Structure 1
Amino acid sequence: MVSGTVERVFREEYGRAVSVLVRTFGDIDLAEEAVQEAFAAALQRWPDGGAPPSPAGWIITTARNHAIDRLRREARRAEKHAEADLIYNVPPDEPDDRLQLIFTCCHPALARHAQVALTLRLLGGLTTPEIARALLVPEPTLAQRIVRAKTKIRDAGIPYRVPRAADLPDRLAAVLAVVYLIFNEGYAASSGGLIRDDLCAEAIRLGRMLRRLMPDEPEVAGLLALMILAAARRPARVDESGGLVPLPRQDRSRWDRDAIAEGHRLVRECLRRDRPGPYQIQAAINAVHTDAPSAGATDWGQIVRLYDQLMMVAPSPVVELNRAVAVAEMDGPDAGLRLVEGLPLPGYHVFHAVRADLLRRAGRLSEARVAYETAAELTDNTAERDYLLTQSSALSPPVS
């Protein structure tokens, strides 16, 4: 029970604790190590006395004490303490620590892949294997990126702050990518159960904060709308046993209508600005889905047109895959298969899952069974794997 509480607090508060300590001490490695030590201490102490009334506060205080103890053992402790005292006295109206940490990690001196990887590690508390799966890169490569990014921040003296207004646009693309990846890891977790609500909530919270910071930037509103509309379907995405329920089979009466209304308002705001970008277009696609009273009433023609627009501003094999799904709904599975075959996504489990479903609908059952099994092998998400294996089993020939 206590270990479960520590795990929950870790998922919910790791990013906050790290960001507070980075602000206090100005050292990312020190912050991460101190927070990890605090959680290790929680695993030792909480079983005897129970979890404290404010677990997050306990973790941050304990981590800060660990960091101070370490600084006292270092030769430069006087200089470090002076720096800590200066940084600790932050004005009460300063932006959220986590938002500052995002912009630090997304500094233009860092490569884009390093920006995304480091922020997922520090803000989302994701492990190296989870981030590697989310970014579709080998784990050793991802680990090297994180180490190099931390070293670059330290050696270049990259400041821990939200940049000036004039610098915000150039830094925004990486920040939005980071927030979206955090949301995606929560919405379809790379391992374990299907959904990690804490990461979805954190990404939406950061999205709202970005919107307050940059109210006139339509892509910020677009990303926020996209996340809100996707999260609105969350109650219907799993059954009572935690199993995956695909979109066509979801009980739409369980969707969060208040969230959908908010998402639609944001999409309409983006349309009025008439400065389309990839997040706004994806939000519009989700708005079409959530506007349909049933799966059969979905306006697939409008969705295909939106994917055509998305291919113009942000072409990728994943966008082509999603467009193929919409085309198949309009023109049949064979039309979808013609678009799917040959896409360079051999390690992406969703590609094989989509292909399997189209093969099944086209009557090519033995090929579909193999594709479902391939998709299941490529995901560590328990709910997705169980669903894919169930689909495969349903296509197995009867035992004579």
Structure 2
Amino acid sequence: MPPDAGRAAERVARQSYGKLIAFLAARSRDVPAAEDALSEALASALRVWPERGVPDKPEAWLLVAARRNLMQAARHRTVAANAQTTITVAFEEAEERMNEAGKAIFPDERLKLLFACTHPAIDSSVHTALMLQTVLGIEAKTIARAFVISPEAMSQRLVRAKVKIRDAGIPFAVPPRPALPERLAAVLSAIYAAYGLGWDGLDGEEERHSLAGEAIWLGRALLAVLPDEPEAIGLLSLMLHCEARRSARRDCNGRYVPLDEQDTAAWNAIMIAEADALLRKAGGFNRFGSFQCQAAIQSVHAARRLSGTTDWQALTTLYAALITMKPALGARVAEAAAIGRALSAAAGLERLDRLDPRDTAAYQPYWAVRAFLLARAGDDAAAVDAYMTAIGLSDSPAVRDFLADRLKEARQATPG
């Protein structure tokens, strides 16, 4: 029995889940049925591959098996004959294309599925979660943790949304240009949310890096379809700027390193150059949006590679613009941090004090920034309390360790 057969099935499932679901669902118009068919195919792989060996083209094997499962399920349901014929013909054509010249190649249609998941007929509150599960294969319990709701509630929302796609006949297609602006905003937000999960972390470094890479792939695929959409360009620039610094976020001992203390020599210069080129291209359309603004913020940080310093005043200007377009809590806290560096710690704290305590009570970045500014202002006793709150709200062991070091410094500086 090949010892790696089970691992091979898991690896193919993790890497190809969204691509397979998108291909199956785009033809059957039924996301739940596609998921069931693929799950059965994966279960078959776990039974068969250990005995017969991993096939040369495991992705194609799974697709053919899932296709067969879908057709069998269709025969057992009471459906219109022409609908069943359409499904049958579509999959037979797909299999023929796959078998041509012995190649296991089929189109990657995740972008179509992404637009289906963010259709206006589906509740906007579930757009991102639905995309994360169907397009990227993230488990409902992991998504629920990110959205701070129960796994049961998240599962119910996802099931209802998938049924809506099927019953409402939501098309699997990039919408026509007149409908793009509204639809594009939801798609961009969903892709960035996926990147954010990959950046902040799920269960391990490999999974984090894989999810971030998938989000960047989706950004590139979207840009290939919509090359003249400046916000799509801006999103890709933003993700590349962040990804360029991934290896510098930890030191040689695995300890967290904040952005302004990172070794710029560890940043990916090629990726930064691409990100800046994209940002310049987006600027040529003269339609400045929130993703371009966030990319510009990251570009200011990236400029430290060449200048050796961070232009905090420029960052305060950009954050003010971002808040005008999208007044999210994270942007407001980041603006206060920039003001604290550009002007004074007191000015940054004054900006934090304007925020609603009901919004900031459980928001970890607020307490981390507040603690930092309090320490800079010399109020070490208050900084100690803020650091303790920030540590308690952090999910990352590395960040907690970093904050604990800052807490120790604040305690040592406290009189008495």
* Cα distance in 2 for residues equivalent to 1:354 and 1:37: 48
Partner in structure 1 of residue 24 of structure 2: 21
* Cα distance in 1 for residues equivalent to 2:386 and 2:9: 39
Deviation at 1:44, TM superposition (A): 4.9
Partner in structure 1 of residue 135 of structure 2: 123
* Cα distance in 2 for residues equivalent to 1:395 and 1:68: 65
Aligned positions of 1:1-400 closer than 5 A:
2=4, 6-44=9-47, 46=49, 51-76=54-79, 81-88=84-91, 89=93, 96-137=108-149, 139-193=151-205, 196-293=208-305, 297-341=309-353, 342-343=355-356, 344-389=359-404, 391-392=406-407
Deviation at 1:39, TM superposition (A): 3.6
Could you state the TM-score of these two structures normalised by the residue count of structure 2?
0.84
8 Å contact from structure 1 (residues 103, 175) kept in 2: yes
| Structure possessing the higher relative contact order (Cα contacts under 8 Å, 6 or more residues apart) | 1
Deviation at 1:296, TM superposition (A): 5.8
8 Å contact from structure 1 (residues 192, 380) kept in 2: no
Q: Which amino acid aligns with 1:179?
A: I
Structure 1's unaligned 5+ residue stretches are none
* Cα distance in 1 for residues equivalent to 2:207 and 2:310: 25
Q: Which amino acid aligns with 1:28?
A: V
Deviation at 1:217, TM superposition (A): 1.3
* Cα distance in 2 for residues equivalent to 1:158 and 1:69: 23
Q: Which amino acid aligns with 1:24?
A: R
Could you state the TM-score of these two structures normalised by the residue count of structure 1?
0.87
8 Å contact from structure 1 (residues 225, 267) kept in 2: yes
8 Å contact from structure 1 (residues 359, 365) kept in 2: yes
* Cα distance in 2 for residues equivalent to 1:245 and 1:337: 23
Structure 1 range deviating more: 160-169 or 196-205 = 160-169
Structure 1 range deviating more: 376-385 or 172-181 = 376-385
Deviation at 1:125, TM superposition (A): 1.4
Cα deviations across residues 362-384 of structure 1 (Å, max 9, x unaligned)? 44445444444433443444443
* Cα distance in 2 for residues equivalent to 1:4 and 1:302: 49
Cα distance change, pair 323–184 in 1 and its aligned pair in 2 (3 A): same
* Cα distance in 2 for residues equivalent to 1:369 and 1:362: 13
- Percent identical pairs in the alignment equals 38
Structure 2's unaligned 5+ residue stretches are 98-105
* Cα distance in 1 for residues equivalent to 2:387 and 2:15: 33
Deviation at 1:219, TM superposition (A): 0.8
Q: Which amino acid aligns with 1:210?
A: L
Give the 3-state SS of the residue equivalent to 1:83 in structure 2: helix
Give the 3-state SS of the residue equivalent to 2:305 in structure 1: coil
**Aligned residue pairs, count:** 398
8 Å contact from structure 2 (residues 32, 163) kept in 1: no
Cα distance change, pair 145–247 in 1 and its aligned pair in 2 (3 A): same
Q: Which amino acid aligns with 1:187?
A: W
Q: Which amino acid aligns with 1:310?
A: L
Give the 3-state SS of the residue equivalent to 1:239 in structure 2: coil
